[in-house]
Structure 1
Amino acid sequence: MGCCNSKTGGESAANRISRWRSTGIVAFRDCKLKTFPSEVLELDGSVRTLDLTHNKIVDVPLEISKLINMQRLVLADNLIERLPMNLGKLQSLKVLTLDNNRITTLPDELGLLVRLERLSISGNLLACFPETIGSLRNLLLLNVSNNKLKSLPESIGSCFNLEELQANGNSIEDLPSSICSLVNLKSLCLNNNNVHQIPHNLLRDCKALQNVSLHGNPISMDQFQQMDGFQEFEARRKKKFDKQIDSNVMIGSTGLDEGVDL
């Protein structure tokens, strides 16, 4: 799938483009690219998946908006500092992976990606998140770990289908009260932040919640256990792991170690 290999194998540019058009998959992994591959932009609506993982790309061109049928965009492990303002034109996008870049801000147009299901932007330099994220009603997974966030936007409570929220390794102090509206949330990971309390009705209202991980925060186990709905949460958590063990699912040594530090 990687185009670097096909070039060394003697594949002509015409054959390569023909293959891209027929499969809808374009991959330039580990190709040491410094600029966005311009030939991809000529494919317009043919591209379904674009993977540019582990290159040295700094800028994403405005012309990326021409790839209107793209469903999966993977730009992890590059040197990207910002995203184009017209990113919201990629209306078919379901997966957006931006891990390990140098992104400091996200455009408000992110909220126009209404079909987005998975957004991962860990290992960047984000200090804040746009309120427009609340428009991502189909979002299932949000990973903002290892950034510089001090808070999460109040609008996150409108991401009604969110099942997994990973925000480890930030500087988050408080959670927005709207997070209690995430009735489908199953996993909340906030390790190594500055969280000293969480909304008191989180465990009561988020009835699907099975995993809360708060290691490396000022909050105490006593505070956590005294929250409304703790017993019901604990029952769901235990049932989840009992099911995994009964199914012979292999789990690591920390697999059963959830909650907060003692």
Structure 2
Amino acid sequence: MGCCSSKNADSKATRIARWRSTGIVALRDSKLKTFPDEVLDLDRSVRTLDLTHNKLVDVPMEINKLINMQRLVLSDNLIERLPIDLGKLQSLKVMMLDTNRITTLPDELGQLVRLERLSISGNLLTGLPETIGSLRNLVLLNASNNKLKFLPESIGSCFSLEELQANENSIEELPSSVCNLVHLKSLCLDNNNVKQIPPNLLKDCKALQNISLHGNPISMDQFQQLEGFQDFEARRKKKFDKQIDSNVMISSKGLDEGVDL
């Protein structure tokens, strides 16, 4: 019995030493119901924390001690809310919260000014905080499969945004500020209630190559009447031809022609 306890202690010590050395804590599929205290005690050592596919319900406020963390992956859990102290993770660049039970995001989300990728699909969100506009380095936002009825006007201040996914929601219209997203390449809004899009979208978003609006009450005729449609069409075809020339192997659905209405 004593030998077994000693081996377990050595194993735990070895694991903690490895985490501290590499900065990577990976505890996928570990049946965790609470955050392990030994991870929180690592403080500044943690760079990546992956707790995918566990049974976590809460994220402790003590997570604010992991101030050097750059990548936080909490997908496929039972999380219902996030602590306001999450905003203190100033080094965070990637946050994956897909497939949880989150109903709201704290305003302090806007304090994560280095965040580049935010994925919150498969939750119960009815809205996004206005403070999301403070995420000036955000390149990807995936808010699909929620209960969103609109996107905040402040989304137009996410100037680095290249990919916006909000499929499977209840969005009826886009804020006019989306036209400020001059780096936006892909806009996916399948299966919403979008009846029209901002009239200047194609003209102002000069990097846009792909728009997917399948399952919305908007017609192709409406889309083609938008100013800037011809330039958008040229970009779409150029991207499509490049994929063919590169022998890109993707599914027929993935090989999007650029407009799906």
**1:22 corresponds to:** 21
**1:256 corresponds to:** 256
Which amino acid letter does the alignment assign opposite residue 140 of structure 2? L
3-state SS, counterpart of residue 132 of structure 1:
helix
Query: What is the rounded CA distance, in whole Å, between the counterparts of 1:256 and 1:12 in structure 2?
Result: 49
* 1:191-210 equivalent positions in 2, closer than 5 A: 191-210=190-209
* 1:112-151 equivalent positions in 2, closer than 5 A: 112-151=111-150
3-state SS, counterpart of residue 259 of structure 2:
coil
User: Is 1:92 aligned to 2:88, yes or no?
Assistant: no
Which amino acid letter does the alignment assign opposite residue 70 of structure 1? M
Query: What is the rounded CA distance, in whole Å, between the counterparts of 1:17 and 1:39 in structure 2?
Result: 7
**1:73 corresponds to:** 72
Normalised by the length of structure 1, the TM-score is 0.95
Contact 2:209 2:258 in 1 (8 A): no
Contact 1:174 1:198 in 2 (8 A): yes
* 1:58-69 equivalent positions in 2, closer than 5 A: 58-69=57-68
Q: How many positions carry a matched residue from both structures?
A: 254
**1:5 corresponds to:** none
3-state SS, counterpart of residue 50 of structure 1:
strand
Query: CA offset at residue 170 of structure 1?
Result: 0.1
Structure 1: give runs of 5+ residues left out of the alignment.
1-7
Which amino acid letter does the alignment assign opposite residue 142 of structure 1? L
Contact 1:217 1:260 in 2 (8 A): no
Query: What is the rounded CA distance, in whole Å, between the counterparts of 1:206 and 1:11 in structure 2?
Result: 57
Contact 2:189 2:213 in 1 (8 A): yes
Query: What is the rounded CA distance, in whole Å, between the counterparts of 2:256 and 2:41 in structure 1?
Result: 50
Query: What is the rounded CA distance, in whole Å, between the counterparts of 2:89 and 2:126 in structure 1?
Result: 24
Query: What is the rounded CA distance, in whole Å, between the counterparts of 1:256 and 1:106 in structure 2?
Result: 31
Which amino acid letter does the alignment assign opposite residue 139 of structure 1? L
Query: What is the rounded CA distance, in whole Å, between the counterparts of 2:179 and 2:199 in structure 1?
Result: 9
Structure 2: give runs of 5+ residues left out of the alignment.
1-6
Query: What is the rounded CA distance, in whole Å, between the counterparts of 2:217 and 2:126 in structure 1?
Result: 21
Query: What is the rounded CA distance, in whole Å, between the counterparts of 1:259 and 1:196 in structure 2?
Result: 15
Which amino acid letter does the alignment assign opposite residue 211 of structure 1? N
Which amino acid letter does the alignment assign opposite residue 91 of structure 2? S
Query: What is the rounded CA distance, in whole Å, between the counterparts of 2:33 and 2:23 in structure 1?
Result: 23
Query: CA offset at residue 241 of structure 1?
Result: 1.0
* CA displacement 1:94-113 (0-9 Å, x = unmatched): 00000000000000000000
3-state SS, counterpart of residue 12 of structure 1:
helix
Contact 2:75 2:96 in 1 (8 A): yes
Contact 2:84 2:108 in 1 (8 A): yes
Identity %: 80
**2:211 corresponds to:** 212
Query: What is the rounded CA distance, in whole Å, between the counterparts of 2:136 and 2:53 in structure 1?
Result: 30
Which amino acid letter does the alignment assign opposite residue 259 of structure 1? V
**2:4 corresponds to:** none
* CA displacement 1:222-259 (0-9 Å, x = unmatched): 00011000010010011001011111111311213442
CA RMSD of aligned residues (A): 1.3
**2:3 corresponds to:** none
Normalised by the length of structure 2, the TM-score is 0.95
3-state SS, counterpart of residue 96 of structure 1:
strand
Which amino acid letter does the alignment assign opposite residue 97 of structure 1? M
Which amino acid letter does the alignment assign opposite residue 224 of structure 1? F
